[in-house]
Amino acid sequence: MLASLEGLDHVVVIARDLALAADNWRALGFTVSPRGTHSAHVGTGNHTIMFDTDYVELMGILTDTDLNAPGRDFLQRRGDGLERAAFTTSDAAAGAAALRSRGFDALGPVEFSRPVNLPGGGEAKAAFSVFHWPLTERPADIRLFACQHHTRDAVWIPALQSHPNTATGIVRLVLVTPVPQEDATRLASLIDSQALPDGAAARVPTGPGRGEFVFMSQTEFRTRHPGARQEELPQTGAAALVLRVNDLEAAARAAGTAAARDATTVTVAAGRANGVILVFEQAARAAAGIRPGPGGRSPSSRPA
C-alpha cells in the first residue's frame, strides 16, 4: 500500500436530505450517531454508522464551499449515492507527499473537526487530517481520499458500534463499470495494491481484515446479485455495499419483507438506502472470502 495507508477506513454516502438518510438507515437496523457538523470551511454535516474497524458516513451539504463542490456535483449528476471511499492513514502529510512524489496533484492535508455528543452525556471533539487524490483519478467514478484519525475514541464509541441488524463491518464495495479490469488496475496503481482476477470481475484488496473493491459489468452484477433491481444500477459507479453480519436472520428481520432473501444473503434495494444497494452476508462466509456465484449460488472459497 502507498506510504502510511492501512486499508479501507470508511465510505461516504452523500444525500440531499441528511435527516431523511439517517431515518432510512436507522429503519434498516443500524445504530446511527447524532448529527455532527464539520468545520465551516468543509461545509458538511454527517451521521456515522460505526463497525469494528470501519464505518459508513452519511453526509449532507450544509453550506456551499470549495471543498464540497465535488459532492454537490455528484448529487446533481447522480442523486444520492456512494460518492467517496476513504483509506486509513497513519500520517496524512506523509501520504500526500508520497502521492506528489509520483506526480499526482494531491489535495491536502486538510485539517478539520466536528463536535461529538457522547451517548452518556457531554461532548467531545473528533479531529481529522485528510488528503485527496486528484479529481481526475476516479476509477469507476469513485472519489478517493485518506483520513488520519487524531481522536479515535471520539469516533469509535462502543455504544454506537452495536446494531440491531448485527452488522460488524464492510466486506466489499462493488463498482459497476464497462471496463472492470482497467478500472481495478487503475485503483491498484493509485494505492500500491494489486488487481486480482475474480471470474469476470476484478478485485483490489486494501489491507488485512479491511474491505476490498470489486469491479464488474452490469451483466456480471445481475448474475451475482439476482436480488438487485436492474434499474438501480449506474452505468459507471459504486452500486453496492456488502456488509458482514453476525446473524443473517436478524438482518433479514431488520430489512423487512421488501428485501430479497436467499440462503446466504439479504439484499436491500437502493431506494431504501439512499442510492446504495445493501447486501448483508453472514460473518463466517464473509471471513472465508466466499462470493456469490451465478444465480446467487455459492462458489468455492477464494482468499480474501
Q: Name the one residue in this structure whose C-alpha cell is 462502543.
A: 158
- Do 37 and 54 contact (CB within 8 A), yes or no? no
Q: How confident is the model at residue 303 (pLDDT cuts 50, 70, 90)?
A: very low
Q: What is the pLDDT of residue 302?
A: 30
pLDDT beyond 80 at 223: yes
Res. 37 pLDDT band, cuts 50 70 90: confident
Per residue in 109-156, pLDDT (tens digit) is 999 999 998 888 889 999 999 999 999 999 999 999 999 999 999 999
Rounded to whole angstroms, how far apart are CA atoms 255 and 249?
A: 10
Tell me what percent of the residues of the chain surpass a pLDDT of 90.
81
Summarize the confidence of residues 210-236 as an average pLDDT.
92
For residue 212, the number of C-alpha atoms closer than 13 Å in the C-beta half-sphere is 25
What's the confidence (pLDDT) of residue 291? 58
Res. 12: pLDDT tops 70: yes
User: Is the per-residue pLDDT at 48 higher than 50?
Assistant: yes
Q: Where would I find the H helices in the chain?
A: 18-26, 69-78, 92-101, 180-191, 218-224, 248-255, 283-287
Strand ordering across the sheet containing 5-14 = 36-37, 44-50, 55-61, 5-14, 81-89, 143-149, 123-132, 107-117
Per-residue pLDDT, 39: 86
- pLDDT tens track for 69-116: 999 999 999 999 999 999 999 999 999 999 999 999 999 999 999 999
- Specify whether the CB–CB gap between 280 and 249 falls below 8 A: no
What grid cell was written down for 54? 470501519
At 68 the pLDDT is: 93
pLDDT at position 158 = 95
CA distance linking residue 198 with residue 128, whole number of Å:
35
* Sheet strands (E) in the chain: 5-14, 36-37, 44-50, 55-61, 81-89, 107-117, 123-132, 143-149, 167-176, 196-198, 201-204, 212-216, 237-245, 260-261, 265-268, 277-282
- Using the predicted structure, report yes or no on whether residue 16 has a pLDDT greater than 60: yes
Q: How sure is the predictor about 235, in pLDDT bands with cuts at 50, 70 and 90?
A: very high
Q: Is the pLDDT of residue 292 over 60?
A: no
Q: How far is CA 249 from CA 50, 164, 263, 280, in A?
A: 21, 11, 10, 10
- Strand duo 55-61 + 5-14: pairing: parallel
User: Strand, coil or helix: what is 110?
Assistant: strand
pLDDT in tens, 240-278: 999 999 999 999 999 998 899 988 999 999 999 999 999
Look at residue 92 in the predicted model and tell me its pLDDT. 97
According to the model, what pLDDT value does residue 146 have? 98
Q: How confident is the model at residue 230 (pLDDT cuts 50, 70, 90)?
A: confident
Percentage of the chain exceeding pLDDT 70: 93
**Which whole number is the average pLDDT over 180-199?**
97
